[in-house]
């Protein structure tokens, strides 16, 4: 991996509408503008997120990629209001989230699904899978509908309804992550934020989860913000890619643009570290072979 490179003041954006990049049109589902989170210490101020801006259109996918510690996960938590921003704007369906009262924000969160990195830590070991998946349903759904909805989302992620009676320790890592995805999908969100959802899994299981997410996006017309340090993974699952470095987005464009013709030296450095597969087996399809 190349050493640190100072990011440009503005990211290397592509021309609007070029090669599939969103051009003028309807209001995006998610619009982030100038988002910042600074942490003050006795000696200095840490700019974990420093002026991040991007849009995400409904039914599309954006990969937020960069090294560990660059601000990707903090950006996700700011969007969800799990952290309060130092500055900036987050608009979801045209509605400003950063100033919403917490009671209103709780309602909005039913439309924002989140899948975390570690399926071992994100599921309560004392709860059956039925209760894990039902956590986000009880506020908005009648109790009589919960069992039906739990069975429905478990089957959608490839788990039979009988799994509802099991506990997390009875499952493999891949099955646990399927449950985490089912829990995120249960309230019926329009935006799914996936924060390193496969990095804790074996390589063969990663491919299964990535293909599942691709299928779910097609079937449910989900909008996905996919966060990862792995450029090879992001290339398979995201239509557009934003590269983060030191709290800033330094380049953003379509998959073909960013991987085929990177404009920022940090993007080029990241790509140079990605192992290149046998050219005879290389393909651009969405199905993942790992």
Q: Look at the chain and report how many structural domains it folds into.
A: 2
With bands split at pLDDT 50, 70 and 90, how would you rate the model's confidence at 17?
A: very low
For the chain, the first-to-last Cα distance in angstroms comes to 22
Q: Which domain holds residue 168?
A: 122-188
User: Do the domain assignments include residue 19?
Assistant: no
175 in the same domain as 32 = no
199 in the same domain as 168 = no
d(CA 241, CA 234): 8
80 in the same domain as 205 = yes
User: Do the domain assignments include residue 203?
Assistant: yes
Tokens for 71?
């601000």
More confident residue, 126 or 16: 126
β-strands 95-96, 87-92: how paired?
Answer: antiparallel
pTM beyond 0.75: the answer is yes
User: Do the domain assignments include residue 3?
Assistant: no
pLDDT of residue 1: 40
* Domain boundary, last residue among 144, 168, 188: 188
183 in the same domain as 93 = no
d(CA 106, CA 112): 10
| pLDDT (tens digit per residue) in 228-273 | 999 989 998 999 999 999 999 999 999 999 999 999 999 999 998 8
77 in the same domain as 37 = yes
d(CA 203, CA 206): 5
| pLDDT (tens digit per residue) in 186-219 | 999 999 999 999 998 888 899 999 999 999 999 9
pLDDT of residue 227: 97
User: Do the domain assignments include residue 153?
Assistant: yes
| pLDDT (tens digit per residue) in 44-57 | 999 999 999 999 99
User: Do the domain assignments include residue 16?
Assistant: no
255 in the same domain as 142 = no
174 in the same domain as 131 = yes
165 in the same domain as 61 = no
| CA torsion angle 95 31 157 139 (round to 10) | -20
User: Do the domain assignments include residue 289?
Assistant: no
197 in the same domain as 181 = no
Tell me what the pLDDT averaged over the chain comes to.
87
* Domain boundary, last residue among 166, 188, 210: 188
Instruction: Give the strands of the sheet with 95-96, arranged side by side.
Output: 45-56, 30-40, 87-92, 95-96
Beta strands in the chain (DSSP E): 12-13, 30-40, 45-56, 61-65, 87-92, 95-96, 112-115, 191-195, 223-228, 240-245, 248-254
Q: Which of 254, 176, 184 is nearest to 217 (CA)?
A: 184
195 in the same domain as 129 = no
User: Do the domain assignments include residue 84?
Assistant: yes
- How far, CA to CA in Å, does 280 sit from each of 259, 277, 290? 18, 8, 15
């Amino acid at each position: 991996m190349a050493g640190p490179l100072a990011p440009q003041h503005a990211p290397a954006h592509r021309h609007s509408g070029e090669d599939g990049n969103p051009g003028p049109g309807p209001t995006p589902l998610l619009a982030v503008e100038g988002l910042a989170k600074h942490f003050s210490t006795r000696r200095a101020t840490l700019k974990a997120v420093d002026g991040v801006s991007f849009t995400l259109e409904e039914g599309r996918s954006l990969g937020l990629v960069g090294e560990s510690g660059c601000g990707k996960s903090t950006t996700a938590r700011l969007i969800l209001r799990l952290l309060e921003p130092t500055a900036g704007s987050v608009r979801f369906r045209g509605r400003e989230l950063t100033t919403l009262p917490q009671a209103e924000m709780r309602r909005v969160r039913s439309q924002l699904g989140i899948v975390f990195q570690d399926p071992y830590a994100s599921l309560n070991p004392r709860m059956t899978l039925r209760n894990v998946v039902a956590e986000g349903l009880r506020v908005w759904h009648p109790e009589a509908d919960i069992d039906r909805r739990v069975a429905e989302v478990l089957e959608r992620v490839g788990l039979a309804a009988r799994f509802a009676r099991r506990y997390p320790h009875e499952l493999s890592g891949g099955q646990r992550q399927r449950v985490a995805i089912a829990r995120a999908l249960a309230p019926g969100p329009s935006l799914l934020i996936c924060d390193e959802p496969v990095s804790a899994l074996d390589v063969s299981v990663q491919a299964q989860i990535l293909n599942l997410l691709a299928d779910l996006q097609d079937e449910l017309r989900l909008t996905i913000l996919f966060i990862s340090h792995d450029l090879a993974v992001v290339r398979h699952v995201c239509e557009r890619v934003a590269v983060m470095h030191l709290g800033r987005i330094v380049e953003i464009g379509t998959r073909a643009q960013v991987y085929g013709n990177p404009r920022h030296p940090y993007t080029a450095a990241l790509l140079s570290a990605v192992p290149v597969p046998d050219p005879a087996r290389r393909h651009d399809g969405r199905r993942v072979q790992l």
